[in-house]
Amino acid sequence: MIERAVPERPWIMRTYSGHSSAQASNSLYRANLAKGQTGLSIAFDLPTQLGYDPDHRLARGEVGKVGVPVSHLGDMRALMDGIPLETMNTSMTINATAPWLFALYIALAEERGVGARALQGTTQNDIVKEYLSRGTYIFPPAQSLKLTSDTIVYAVRNVPSWNPINFCSYHLQEAGATPVQEIAYTLGTCIAVLDAVRAAGKIEDMTATFGRLSFFVNAGMRFVEEVCKLRAFALLWERLGRDRYGVTDPKALRFRYGVQVNSLGLTAAQPENNVYRILLETLGVTLSKDVRARAVQLPAWNEALGLPRPWDQQWSLRCQQVLAYETDLLEYDDIFEGSRVVAEKTRSIAGAAWGEVEQVERLGGAVACVQSGYIKERLVESNALRISQIEQGTRKVVGVNCYTETAPSPLLASPDGGAGAILTVDPAAEAAQVDAVRAWRKKRDEGAVRRTLDALRAGVGRGENVMPLSIAAAKAGVTTGEWGAALRDVLGEFRAPTGVGGATIGRDESIEPVRAKVRALGERLGRNVKLLIGKPGLDGHSNGAEQIALRARDAGFEVVYQGIRVTPAQLAQSAVEEGVHLVGLSVLSGSHNDLVPEVLDALRKAGVTNVPVVVGGIIPEADARALEARGVARVYTPKDFALGSIMDDLAELVMRAHGLS
């Protein structure tokens, strides 16, 4: 007879959030904690992630949109006001500027009289995946790796309860990775980081370091496969620790991870079904006790529509609480132990993943594979296959390519056409942040700021650990933009390969009619039909732009795609120099109302008047209509999944623009 065990403590329950300002985000955090959330997961806005202050020209339209702006120690004070740092477990989604935000957090703790050794939490700090998926990198890979290793070495020695990195397979799955690729490329990153830490820290015994490293994983809808993926991950992590780094302590070798379940699979069509998807994906990371998540944060049902409201976040939190407290999930040992199916699938995934780890190492390691574009191209290809399967119906997505009949959703029923179903950031928030950072600069000791920035440049240039230098700068009142500029002066900047140039996909015969149309159009125009794809602003989520580029190339368009973070002026210049027939913009940061009109104005100023402009992104219906009124020819949102139809639409737009339809 199986006896029930005493229930174990549930995982840390978080909600990924932050918006508008430090004060507004603090109110949200305190409300969520009052509802039973047990940890914080801070989302920072794009200027903060990329080392810019709110008044920098590149920050325009991006301040407070996808997270909270934190420009200096005063903002960190406001963000954590009334929240006890000595007991709170705080996760910060920050990478390129991770040393800086960690320094601000430590400086605040010391200001409050809380020793750094008492702090608990995580800095994401996995810079390699930024070159592959999210795009919030600044510096070249080798220099970024040095900043990452500095943060880890400092934390292990001075903040021993802090996780100084969580290796992020989550974002690789969002970029299209299969379970095998998700494990392999993440472990490839682990090797690159751990080797750098061992060298930089002159560490012989890696046990303490290895035991503080954690993961941030993804869980998709293929439930059995996800359970086995996590078991394979744990198996290979232990193998890596024992065989490469000589770690033998079972506690240090434990696979420790937090999770946000898959956002890639959330749909704009019948979005109420996302509630079921989120729950099922959560089971994949909680049912198996041997590899149960240490912390869970869930997306909201309406994330494919826009920014979730506090109530939507509460609904996701309640999902976790019902699972942890109303079921008997936490009362038993691992229920998959002894399963032949699970064991065989786990071995299969682990074997294939380790084979790809060895391939990455043969090609020079993760950093070399970032610079060559090898990993990025594999992810683009996998994502293209996934999208093709959805289009062709071989991968079923309820409400999207099957069972599409539906009654109107009461969750979206409102006089504003559903716009009230998402949170809208106050347009005045950006101006307020600009005023606030300028006021901060005026009241600080400029001499102290100048001295600490000079010390930061000199120290980083000599190869010193960036953390003590950054903590001193934080206490002196240095801003995020000043810290970022100082390191740009020393380390330089970098543009990663797009992943489009070398990616190969099978020829899609279903779009042969589109190919014929594009070919005939080119003959009538006297040259190839040319499409410029651009990502204005700071948004680095390029998956959609890459897939459009691949499919357009397959349909016969000549494609110009320069990658992420291109200014409106640069896009207009490219449109003129390349003589394009169509411009496609991808904006996923919620900044479309600011950035798209800027691009339209830049095109008109450059004399580009007969070129249709289309826009893709998470764009509410009301905003789409407003953009069309400004001159945008088409707006595509996540519900427009059929890329073949979009290609046909693009060809028609060019034909009409030239009077050929």
What is the H or E stretch that residue 372 is in? helix 366-372
**Active-site residue flag, 592:** no
Q: How far is the C-alpha of 419 from the C-alpha of 490, rounded, in Å?
A: 45
Burial 558-592 (b: 16+ CB within 10 A, else e): bbbbebbbbbbeebbebbeeeebbbbbbbbbbbbb
Query: Among the options 137, 154, 170, 561, which is catalytic?
Result: 170
Query: Among the options 45, 53, 55, 539, which is catalytic?
Result: 539
Nearest to 90 by CA among 125, 124, 50, 122: 122
User: Is 311 in a helix, a strand, or coil?
Assistant: helix
pTM equals 0.92
Q: Are 299 and 281 in contact (CB under 8 A)?
A: no
* Residue ranges of the chain whose pLDDT lies below 50: 1-2
Question: What is the domain partition of the chain in residue ranges?
Answer: 12-392, 509-657
The fold of the 509-657 domain, in CATH, is Rossmann fold (3.40.50)
User: What is residue 56's predicted lDDT score, i.e. its pLDDT?
Assistant: 95
What is the H or E stretch that residue 48 is in? helix 46-49
**Active-site residue flag, 45:** no
Query: Among the options 65, 376, 535, 592, which is catalytic?
Result: 535
Query: Among the options 541, 592, 594, 623, which is catalytic?
Result: 541
**Active-site residue flag, 541:** yes
Query: Among the options 16, 29, 245, 257, which is catalytic?
Result: 16
Query: Among the options 19, 72, 171, 530, which is catalytic?
Result: 171
User: What is residue 403's predicted lDDT score, i.e. its pLDDT?
Assistant: 92
Q: Are 152 and 189 in contact (CB under 8 A)?
A: no
Tell me the CATH class for 12-392.
alpha beta
Q: Are 459 and 491 in contact (CB under 8 A)?
A: no
**Active-site residue flag, 170:** yes
**Active-site residue flag, 640:** no
- Contacts of 560 by beta carbon, 8 Å cutoff, 6+ apart: 530, 531, 532, 533, 574, 578, 580
User: What is residue 360's predicted lDDT score, i.e. its pLDDT?
Assistant: 97
**Active-site residue flag, 16:** yes
